[in-house]
Amino acid sequence: NLQLPLATMLDLASGDMDPYALVVERRLSHMAEAYHDRAAVTAAAGEDPVIYRAYEADVPHEASQLVYRMTIIEPGRIGDEFYMTKGHHHVVDSGEFYLGTAGTGAVVMQTRSGEVRVEEMPPGRAVYVPPGWAHRSVNVGTEPFVFLAVFFGNAGHDYASIERDGFAVRVLADGDGYRVG
């Protein structure tokens, strides 16, 4: 009972995936504690904007499998902090392949001992996230930021440690650009 090959259309510009097996949609209310400007969180809470979506292909979450997802982060800010993903460690420390496909964004990576790296992901720029690095993606532009992620089927997603401790740095608006503060 070998699995059958799977083919998927990825719209690199919009992030649409066809077919997809599941979609993750996260609004501000799913991650309100992640943003540091509490007054700005309160001001945006009524509208409860969609911050990002992710489409995933129909690949089993099992060892030896490669799961792939397209993430679309909307442009926007909560106060001076750009829209971003929740961020996570993998439960089973394992590497992940990221490829920017549209818009202007970056990935913040951090080890459990607090070492931080930030890499921009313009269209065509691949970033390898090694095992042991938590990762959060951020849209620093004015258009949707789209990227592809490929990770091990048994990687698992540990959000709890990031919900508790956050990241050591924030990506903040600075004039027309951004700064890591």
Residues of this chain that interact with Zn ion (CB under 5 A) are: 96
Instruction: Tell me which of Zn ion, ligand PAN, none is bound by residue 54, counting a contact when its beta carbon lies within the kind-specific cut-off of 5 to 8 angstroms.
Output: ligand PAN
Residues 57-116 contacting ligand PAN, CB under 6 A: 69, 71, 85-88, 96
* Cα–Cα dist 62/86, whole Å: 23
* Cross-strand pairs, 22: 56
The SS3 call for residue 2 is: coil
Which of Zn ion, ligand PAN, none is residue 139 near (CB under 5 to 8 Å by kind)?
none
Cα 63 from chain centre? 22
Nearer to ligand PAN, 17 or 149 (CB): 149
Interface pattern 125-154 for ligand PAN (x via CB under 6 A) = ----------x-x-----------x-x---
> Nearest Cα to 123, choosing from 109, 107, 104, 142?
104
Residue among 36 and 157 whose Cβ is closer to Zn ion:
157
Residue of minimal Cβ distance to Zn ion: 96
CA distances from 31 to 34, 59, 73, 82, 86 (A): 6, 27, 14, 13, 7
Least separation, in Å, of the C-beta of 92 and ligand PAN? 11
Does residue 171 contact residue 108 with C-beta atoms inside 8 Å?
yes
The minimum distance between CB 170 and ligand PAN, in angstroms, equals 16
d(CA 47, CA 28): 9
The residues of the shown chain that bind ligand PAN, judged by CB under 6 A, are 26, 54, 69, 71, 85-88, 96, 135, 137, 149, 151, 157
